[in-house]
Amino acid sequence: MVTGGAPLQDVLADLRASGRPSLSFEFFPPRDDAGEGVLWESLRRVEALEPTFVSVTYGAGGSTRDRTVRATRAVARETTMSPVAHLTCVSASRAELRRVVGEYADAGVSSVLALRGDPPGGPGTPWERHPQGLGTALELVELLRSLGGFTVGVAAFPHRHPESADAEQDARVLALKARAGASFAVTQLFYEARLWTELVDRAAGHGCDIPVLPGLMAITSLKQVPVFAKLSGAPVPPPLVARLEAAQRSGGDAEVRRVGVEATAELGAELLEAGAPGLHLYTLNRSSASLEVVRALGLRDEDRTAAAVRAVPAQAGASQAGASQTGATPAGTAHPVPAAP
């Protein structure tokens, strides 16, 4: 829904109080002119559904910081949608972070997703704090709140973060970020509804009651299975892999894509039934599969959703198979990629 300028934290609170699910989408900044065209085609189709917000990621190691600022500014100024800009601690001093925050504020962006970010060397390499920078997302939340006027979101991890001792530590960190001023959280990619429920229950045990939006993306190619598992740290359950492999045998790539969308819609329905306050869909800048999930769940007007789905070239989803980090996994420091507590 179009927020009409209301702070995102208020919009999310109103939706939660009324029992209506939020709907949001994640994009990453384009690398070139061709990518920019693809991004804006997808943004315009998503805009027709009046999402609660759209988020724009950083690339691996904070490598797309300037493009993220430009893309988020364009969403704020040239669409009716509420943008959420990602911000990470990677390779940035406190002064540089304040500068980026100032650029967001000047562009009319009032919501930021605060992430520590992946190590500059990529997932699995040691984290290196900038000598004059911040070391955790908690510190970044505190910085943003000290600057005032921002709705702050954070990451949440249904699967244990690779640097956490256990799932309980992840829940404690989420609660600390909420106490520091975070208003909502978006999860890393996952495939089983119970993992979201367990995370929310653990966090509640530490006094955390902010909305935790499940982050989902349809697997539309078997090639994506090992890629997503490696980058996100979220193993694809064997029954889902078997279902996709059976689809490949029976109907080829098109059937894999259909089954992947169907399975994601089933997961979304299970999550909403379990009390999830909404869904956050990772798009890889190709909105077709995400729009089909929205249509299957009936989250928006059927006529408008059907029109948006029809407007996307049928082959668009297939091109997601080879996508790499900047947003998939969707979150490069985009989200499904571990974006450290």
Q: In degrees to the nearest 10, what's the CA dihedral of 72, 183, 277, 78?
A: -20
* Cβ–Cβ under 8 Å, residues 275 and 322: no
As given in the structure block, the two tokens for residue 223 are 């090639």
Spatial separation of the C-alpha atoms in residues 159 and 162, rounded to whole Å? 9
At residue 2, the 3 state secondary structure works out as: coil
Spatial separation of the C-alpha atoms in residues 59 and 326, rounded to whole Å? 4
* Cβ–Cβ under 8 Å, residues 60 and 115: no
As given in the structure block, the two tokens for residue 326 are 């900047």
Spatial separation of the C-alpha atoms in residues 230 and 224, rounded to whole Å? 10
In the chain, the amino acid numbered 252 is G
Closest CA to 277 of 21, 18, 105, 86: 21
* Cβ–Cβ under 8 Å, residues 115 and 137: yes
Q: How many CA atoms lie within 13 A of 2 on its CB side?
A: 9
* Cβ–Cβ under 8 Å, residues 341 and 116: yes
Any catalytic annotation for residue 198?
Answer: no
- Active-site option among 26, 139, 192, 292: 26
Give the total residue count for the chain: 341
Spatial separation of the C-alpha atoms in residues 180 and 202, rounded to whole Å? 18
Active site residues: 26
